[in-house]
Structure formats: structure tokens, C-alpha cells
Structure 1
Amino acid sequence: MQERVKILLVDDQPAKLLSYETVLQELQEDLLQAGSAREALDLLLKNEVAVILIDVCMPDLDGFQLAEMIREHPRFKKTGIIFVSAVQMTDLDRLRGYQLGAVDYVPVPVIPELLRAKVRVFTELFRKSQELENANDELERRVAERTEELAAANARMALAIEVAQLGTWELNIATGEFRASEKLFRMLGHVPDPAEPATLELMLNVIHPDDRPEVQAELFRTHETGEPYHYVFRAIRPDGAIIWCEGRASYDVNAKGRPTSMVGVIRDITEQKRAAEHQEIMMQELHHRVKNSLTTVQAIANLSRRTATNIETFSNAFNSRIVSLSKTHTMLVDNKWNRIHLRDILASELRAFEDLGEERFELCGSSIDLPSQMAVSLGLAFHELTTNAVKHGSLSVPDGRLVVKWALGDERDEEGNYTLHLHWREHGGPIVKEPTRLGFGTALLRGLFNEHNSSHITMQFERTGIDFQLAIPWTPH
């Protein structure tokens, strides 16, 4: 059911107002009655009226004067006004009425069908105008919402581009017009010159010469196929610095499927490239270290098996040596696999025997840091020497002493290495006899340091204790 509109009836005679109401009731609209011009103005200010019927002859203000006052108000400039006149009106009167805003005349006596037809036209016109105005308001509301959504989307996109550190560019394939963002210029180390617009050729010239042919070939290929463009390349900044870039772009196509424009982004991936290269190096280093560790464990197991008299002896010896290896590895891990000091490795091995008294140990040498593989070898060597000293050597008796000294030689070899000299000497221990067969400790020590070129070890079994000397190449930082 359509919404009812309001019709204002203005006449100073109640009988005529009643007759108009009777005639117009058939329209099923809301009828408002005013007995004077002032009353009519009050009703107009409080209501939205579709059409006004005004009696031309009224005592206070005639219909012409009321129409003029109505038209002066902005709200009623387009409201339909129909004059009802019981007197004969001249053409000049009609002209005056039209000039004052009247849109039609109805003579008296009123023909009901004619009056209803005229009023119906204006009510329908008003209703259509309202519908059109509402539709326009709704359209404006939707446009405003969509505009706001687009603005928010553009703001989010701009923020995402800024956060992702993306440089953007556009290419009109038909005209060759090229536009690039300020972010892209900054990324490539160039300053935009308003007098010299950016061109595709300028962008291609910053690509590393070794990568440029493949980048151009991929551009041509995707231009023919319409596929999205993606390529990783190097770019050279004006200061000579080389950066890695990742470029992505897509094409707009016409009705025939031919590309008409290209929109793309470029991202600086130099840090990611360096991180990937560093990760690859770390993986290779990890593989190398794990392989070395497994080789060491295998050697310990084989030598322990050869010298063990039973499974319990093998288990105890093997476990203690693995623990020693683990201590050195822990120190390396704590130091992020950087070099660690010789004194720290030696102190870690002797810490378990601090209750014997500090006077029984003498550690003398400068601060020397060891690379990881040398640290592992010396850690195992110190473990074997310490274990032997506790079981059979100077640390097995109350008056025995241990002196460990180390120092670097003054000269370098052909590879730029110094020689690290280490001397392990036990005093005051039980009488030592040279073994008749090669034991595990001696075999391990020789096996550990044979892998180091130019290394040299001597093991002398002095009467009061073992005398172990090592000379091994040491590489400075």
C-alpha cells in the first residue's frame, strides 16, 4: 500500500472547505483544512504538503498574496498550488497567478471529476518526487559509504605497502608512460627529477648487467601470454652498492585479451638473501661439525673396545670420555661456536679434583683462544691425561703435583700459523714404567693430533710422572 500524502485546503468559508473535502475523499489522502492565510502558513510549517488548493478571494490575504508568501519559503518553491476562483478571471489575473507560483486554476462551480483529476496529478507527481529524492538520498548514502570504504582500503593498502617496504610502479603499454613511487626511487638510490620523468628504460638500466637480459626476456614473455610477472634480480645503486630485488606485476587487458597496462611492486630482499646464504653456510658448518663429532665418537668407541677387558670396563671408560666430549661441546655452544680459551677447557676438566688442593695444580700460560675442532681435540686429550693422573699418576698420591704450561712460538709458518706449545708434566707420583703395549690414552692422543698437519707430540714416562708435550699449528682470529 502506497504512503498517503497531505493536501492543504485553504478557504475562509467552511461550507466550501467541506465540499472540497467531500470531493477529494475518494483520493484517500490526508486532507488539511485552513480557514485563513495565517492558519494555512502555520499548517505548512508543520507538515509536508503535496498540493495546496487556495481560494483566490479571501478577506485578510487573498490567494495571490498567500501564494507569493508560500513561494518565498525555500521548502515550498516547488509545491503545487491550484487556485479556486468563483469570479471571472481575466488573462492578466491568470498571468499574475502563474507568476506568483500557481500551476493550475479550477473555476466555480467545481466539477468533482476535474478537481480530483487535477489534484491526483500533483499528488502522484509529489509521490514520485519523494521516491526519487529518497532514492537519490539512498544512492548518495551508498556512494558515501563506498567512498569511505575505498578510502579506508586505500589507506590500508598504503600502510601495507609502507610496512612491507614496497616500491610501486605503473606502465601504460600503449603510450609508454611510466610512473614510479617515491619509495621505489629511494630503494634504488635515485632522486626523482620533475624535469626528467621516469621511464621504463631508466628502471631497466639500474638492473645488474648480468641479470638484465633475463629480466627483459621475462617481461616480453609475460607480455605475450598475459601471465603475472615475477622475477628476482640484482640492482646497482648510484653509490655502487648491489641490492637484491623481487619484482611482481600483473597486466590489465582489453576486450581482445591484449595487455594495455602493467602494475607492479618491487621489494628489497637483500637481507633475506643474506640470511639464506648465512643459513646455507651454517647448515654446511653444522654438517661438518656433526660429522667430525661422530668420527670422534666412533674413534673413542673403537679404541675403548680394543683396550677394555670386559663390558663394564668398556662402558665406564666410554661413558666418561663421552661426558668429557660433551663438556667441551657445551662450552662451544654457550659461546655460540666461537673460539674458547685453552685455560677454560683445562679448568673444566680439573674442576672435579679441586678438593685435592689448589697447591697441587700449576696452570701457566697466556690467554689463547682455540677454534672449535682444536678445542674438542684438546678437551679429550686433557680428559685422558687427567684420568690417567688420577688413577696411576701424580694425582693418585697425596704429594703429587701437576704442572701444565703453554705458549705461542714467535714465528709463523708458510700458512701464517703460529705454533702452540703445550707441556703437561707430573711430579711426585708413583714410579712410572713405560708400558709394554700401546694403551688407549696414547693411541687416542696420537689419533687426535695426527689429523692436524705439522702437529708433533712426545710422551715420556719419567720416573716420577708422565711428561707430555704437544706442538700444534694455531691460527689467529
Structure 2
Amino acid sequence: MPGGGCVRLPGQARGHRPAAGSAAAVAASLTPLPPGAPAPAPVNILLVDDQPGRLLTYRAILEPLGEHLVDASSGEEALRLLMEDEYALILLDVNMPGLDGLETASMIHQHPRFERVPIIFVTAVNVTDMDRLRGYKLGAVDYVMVPVIPEILRSKVVVLAELFRKRRELQKANAELAAEKARELDRLNDSLRVANAELAARNDELHREVGERARAEQRLRFLADTIPSIVWTCAPDGTITYANRHWYEYYRLPAGEGPGDLTRLVLHPDDAAAVHELVTRSLAAGEKFEFEARHRAQDGDYCWYMTRAVPWRDEHGQVTSWFGISTSVHEMKQLMEQLQEADRRKDEFLATLAHELRNPLAPLLNALNVRRMSDPAVDSDPLQGLMERQLSLLVRLIDDLLDVARITRGKLVLRPGPTTLQQVLDSAVETARPQLSQGRHDLHIELPDAPVAMRADAVRLSQVFANLLNNAAKYSDPGSPIVLAARASEEGIEVLVRDKGIGLSEEQARSIFDLFIQADTAVERARGGLGIGLTLVQQLVEMHGGSVAVRSDGPGCGSEFLVRLPAAPAGESSATPPAAIEDEPPAHGDGRRALVLDDNRDAADTLAMMLELLGFDVRTLYDPETFDANFAEFTPEVVFLDVGMPGRSGYDVAAAMRTMPGGADVLLVAVTGWGQPEDRRRSRDAGFDRHLVKPPELPAIQAICRLLGERSRGTAA
């Protein structure tokens, strides 16, 4: 239900202001003493703070009140002292080592004996409304900010000490009343006159009690109006019986007006039906309920509120009323929407970035493939291998960036299956081999003799260990050794990657798995990278139910990364080794006609060169508007089509081609920088037979050549 989220407890809103009058004056106003009456006995006040200086400050402020002050330097000591004596209130520091103030408050109010002991939190850190709400839930009655203003602290303590005395006096009065009732029963048979006199005395006492209760109700209403939320009560049928002033402030109506029934609140149309059904069902069942909804004020504006309600039952268990509180969460909801929108834009940016980076990579890789295909001696050219390795690194960085985006959005899905630890690590070593060879690192491998069965996504798990090996090679001096060791037991699997590289400081080790984080040294910066490889490692390991930790003795002392994975389920067998694959026939176009359409001339021309070297008769187009006429004239058997083109997209061209004579039988290949699962699904739905992500690998082009040959042989048969 709506509330006024802007109201704060006295003495807190926008900093402390000096209280009017002294602490003694406040005490005198609460506890008027008749002339000559003895001063009230001091009550115990527990001061909890891990800083002795603050304890001395609290004592200096509160000793003029004449109360008994007890010090505790930790939450544990405070709990021990509470078990030994009774305290009127607790002045509790929020931020303490070990058991902090919030945890101490929670433990205090879990004990039935102390659940009503008021707590004043002391903090030097600005707290939000949500922090305050958490404190109030743990039993706090107020917050005091450091530096403490003596007059305000004394005033708050005086009020709470006096309330404690009143409660103790009331308990004593109740005990005396019970004794008096027993004596009255004994005296009733002795004298009617004495009974009438006692009855008159009791009537006077009842009048006093009624007055006290009226004053107590007035104090409760004041407290309800002070809480920065809407406080309300309702009858068992949902009729509102009380609401604090924030109710009327929100609806901008005079006191006493506004929604009269809990089931008839004016909510946002998207929220109304579900909330009405929940409230109606809960009222009928007498069960507590909670909901978040947008409430409409008198001016038509909507505001998010979180509402909680609990039933109040009589001694027979029947619900007599409901107590509820509604707190504004509008700002939190707006912030969440902003964060979600920023996250969505970030993902769109990463996808666009990957596409735009892949476009210039495509002609570069195509040109290298053309050079390798046209010159058999290119294997001896060190520049060829250098360029291929660097292009491969660029592609891997782009893929890692997109993987991180997919994991953070929850869109990366593991494909677990039976495999072995040895197969996963062999694949990882093969992937990291270029980086290891480039740095001339000696890799020492220690694996169990027997195959270790696992149920995991072998591709993603291999990516984890390849990233760790690449990381070790990148941050180690050339020629230094790297260790890859694994062991398995009934408890699980452990894989260790150890290097003698630049090492990590304690601070770097704590944040090394964070996104875009790298060790901040000149040597580190010279080694490049985006700072996402280890983030991927941690997230992929955790998705497999495992954990990863790093240890280093300091800069220059190397690092150890330890991956722990759960053991395979009972009865899980290892993956069957892949059967030997027969040598595939060489890929050749055999003069078949291929049409290439890409608005990037370099990408189109280099792809056409590769196809020509593979034996295709190729026609190259750069404008999608010229496709229809050239398709009808050239009648290609395979079309390589860029998806993202200005004016007319590849999806539009594909749809038009499939309706043209002979278009249904053409092998249609999408060549694009968009490579996420939804992009592949969209290509498939648009009628593409294959989806190649730029830059296309030569083996992928050769596989399409073989597929085209198989289709031709099948048609001939």
C-alpha cells in the first residue's frame, strides 16, 4: 500500500539539529515527580562499540543522566552481559569487526527475553531508507549518526529509559493488583462496607488505567506517523479501520477519507487482478500476505509500493484485525529498470561490436587462405603463420567478449554429456599449443593413469583450461615451465595450472576474476588482452557446479589456479572415443557456378578468389539490387550472401530468391558477422542452408564444397 517514503525518524532527517531544551528538561516532562519524592532508581544502559574512544564519548554524554552505564567492546561481550543482567536499552555500533551491529541485534531479538529491548544504532556511514528498514526489522528504534550530538543522544536515551521505568512500574503494579484481588476475595465475606470501599478504589484505579491506555495509544499513533511508511489496520473483511497520516498524504485527501476497503484499492491495470485475488484469498484464509504493486494517487500518478500484512488473532485463534505496512519502492524499481536498460544496451553494443570487428577480419583471413591455397611454399613463410595466429587471437577475443555477455544475460546454455578428464585436457592443450609454442614454454602434464569419467560440456570445459594455459603462457617469461596437474577422488576432481610468471599481489588476487580486470603493472599492460578470459573461467566452472581459486606468493613469484569440479554421478561411464574418420575427399568446385554478394568489396573479392581456387565458376556482386537479374542470368548452384547490407538485407534477398525459378534448389549460405544462437535461428527461418560467421574458415568453405558435391551426386542418382 502507498506510503510516504520521505519521512524519517526524529533527529535523523537531513542531519541532526539541536534539541529544544536539555535532557533533564525532557526527563522532567516525561516523569513528573511530586515534591520530596525520591529520584528514580538508575537503569542499566549497555554501550556497545569496538572503539574505546567512542565508549568514553558515550559515557561523557550519558553520565549526567545518572543511569548505570555498562561497556561492551564487541557483539559477543554484549550478548554475555545481556545474559547476566537486565538493560533498559542498548546503544549499538553498526560497524564492528567480527559480529557486527546488525548481526548482534538479530541475535538479541531472537531471544524471547530480550526481544523488547530497544536498540539505538550508531553509525558513521550514511544509511539509506532500505538500510534503516532492515535495522527496524531487527529491533532498532532509532539511528544516531557519528559525530554524535550530545543533546539529541541524551534526549533519546532519557525517553527510552523512562519508558523502561514505566514498563517496570506497570509490571509491578500488575503484580500488586493480582495480590490485591486475592485479598479482596478474602475480605468480601467480612464486610460489605469494606468491599464497597475497595470497589470505589478500584474504579478510581481503572479510570487512571484508561487514561494511561489512551496516552499509550496516542504515543503509538505518533510512532506510526513517524515511520516513513504507510501503517494501517483493517477488519477481518478488509475494511480499513486505521491509517497513519502518510495514507492521506499520498491520496491527498482530508484525514478520514481515501480507500475504505483493502480489496478496492486503485492499482495499475497490470497489477490489479493479481493483487485483488491474493488479498481476497489471504483475508479468507487468515494468512499473511505480501505484494508489490503500483498504486494510483488522487492526481492519477502511479507509485510502486511493497505491502506486507499479518493477522492479529484472539485467544481462540480467530482473526480480529489485520496489521499492515506499505513502503515505497518506486525509486528502487526505477533504478532496476535503468540497470536492465543499460544491460540491454551493453549486450546490443557487444553484438554490434563483434559484427563490426568481424567485417574487416573477413577479407584479411580470406586473403591469407588465398595465399596459402595458391602458393604451396607458404608454409615456410614465418609471416604467414604470424598473421594467421594474430587473426585467430582476434577472433577468440571477440568470441570471449560475446560469451561473457551471454553468461551475464543467462543465455549461455551448457550441453553436458559423458566425457573424460583426459579428453577435455587434451583438447585444451591442443587449443593452447600455439601460445605455448610461441613462448617456448615446457608444459609438464601430470594426469591420472585411468580415464576419469565426467559429465560436462566438454567444449566449454576445454575452453576453461585453454584459457588458464594461455594465461599462464602470456604472463610468463619465454622458456619458463608451466605445470598442468590433475587428480581425481570420490570427493571430486582437481586440476592445477602453475606457472613461474609475474605473480599477483593480494589485492590483485582478490579481483583477478572480475570482468575487465588485469594486474595493474607496466609489464602486464604490455601483454594485452581484454581482461575477460579469467571471468569466463570462473563463470563456466561455476555453471558446472565447481569453483576456481588463485594463489600467489606475490609479484614475481608465479601463480597457481586450482579448479575443483564435482565427481561424475554414480554409474556415469566415460565417453566413447570418436571412431576413426576416413579421409575426406578433397573439396573441389568442379566448375560449378557460385554467386557471391557482399557490399564489402574486399570481403566479396577475397571470398570469390578462394572459391575460384577451389574450382568454382564465380560471379561477384556488391549491390543487392542487382541480385535478381544476375541470379536469373547466371543460375548459380550455391550463393554466398551477406546478411547485413544497406537498402536490402540478406534476409530479403533470400526470401526473394527462394520464390524465383530454380531458387528452391540452390545451396544458400549466410556470411555474416552476427553469430549468436538467435542469429543462426533467424538465418535458418529465412531459408538459409548454412550460416558462416565472419571471418569464414577455409575448412568451413571446403565442407560446403563437399556438401554441394553430395547434393549433386544425390540428384544424379
What TM-score do you get using the length of structure 2 for normalisation?
0.23
Q: Which has the higher contact order (CA 8 A, sep 6+)?
A: 2
What TM-score do you get using the length of structure 1 for normalisation?
0.33
